[in-house]
Chain A
């Protein structure tokens, strides 16, 4: 089945220790997104790629970086995690960004704990 896969599902890291979360998709979608979601809050868009074009949200901290080496994979790097970065990180994809092509398909998420 075509899908969005995130690894690992649960990640524990130490304060200040770099961590990388990964996302892969078999949908062959053009757009990939990373969201941060804290408990009982809306998903917050961090950045997205349209093909190789990277789009950073204005309020995304410099601590967060992303890489998309090919269509299928996208990585979220947190350079120096703080306690406030503990959250669920959701990866999503869409075919395009207009109308129903903008429907986003979400991966299961990675829950990050910072000790």
Chain B
């Protein structure tokens, strides 16, 4: 079966660092995406990992370990506008479908 797990909710303080974990079990793996979704809006692309290791993009970094079926999204210097849901999604299967996790709702407080 296809399964993607991530924490339901997290809270953090403005200016701090937060790590959002994602574990997956999928039939096939062709890459892992992280998307940000503000309430009532469409998901927007944050990062893509297909090889093991860390990808850094400004305040956001994403890590992948394929052998462990594990990824994390690291957000540094948190800002209030980072309050959103963060969706982990794996590209999998014959049609390379994007399988989404339920998302982690992050609340940043002053």
Closest to B9 in A: A40
**For chain A, which range describes its interface: under 10, 10 to 19, 20 to 34, or 35 or more residues?**
20 to 34
Determine whether the beta carbon of B43 is less than 8 Å from that of A102.
Answer: no
Question: Chain A residues with Cβ under 8 A from B42's Cβ?
Answer: 90, 106-109
CB distance from A7 to the nearest CB of B (A): 14
Partner of B95, one of A97, A104, A109: A97
Q: Is A70 an interface residue (CB 8 A)?
A: no
Determine whether the beta carbon of B102 is less than 8 Å from that of A40.
Answer: yes
- Contact residues of B between 33 and 92, Cβ < 8 Å to A: 33, 40-45, 48, 50, 87, 91
CB distance from B10 to the nearest CB of A (A): 14
CB distance from A99 to the nearest CB of B (A): 6
Question: Chain A residues with Cβ under 8 A from B103's Cβ?
Answer: 40, 42
Question: Chain A residues with Cβ under 8 A from B30's Cβ?
Answer: 98-99, 102
Question: Chain A residues with Cβ under 8 A from B100's Cβ?
Answer: 42-43
Determine whether the beta carbon of B43 is less than 8 Å from that of A106.
Answer: yes
Given A42-B100, A90-B42, A102-B91 contact (CB < 8 Å): yes
Q: Is A55 an interface residue (CB 8 A)?
A: yes
CB distance from B99 to the nearest CB of A (A): 8
Determine whether the beta carbon of A100 is less than 8 Å from that of B45.
Answer: no
Determine whether the beta carbon of B98 is less than 8 Å from that of A100.
Answer: no
Given A40-B103, A42-B100, A97-B96, A109-B41 contact (CB < 8 Å): yes
Determine whether the beta carbon of A102 is less than 8 Å from that of B96.
Answer: yes
Q: Is A111 an interface residue (CB 8 A)?
A: yes
Q: Is A103 an interface residue (CB 8 A)?
A: yes
Question: Chain A residues with Cβ under 8 A from B48's Cβ?
Answer: 100, 103
Determine whether the beta carbon of B41 is less than 8 Å from that of A108.
Answer: yes
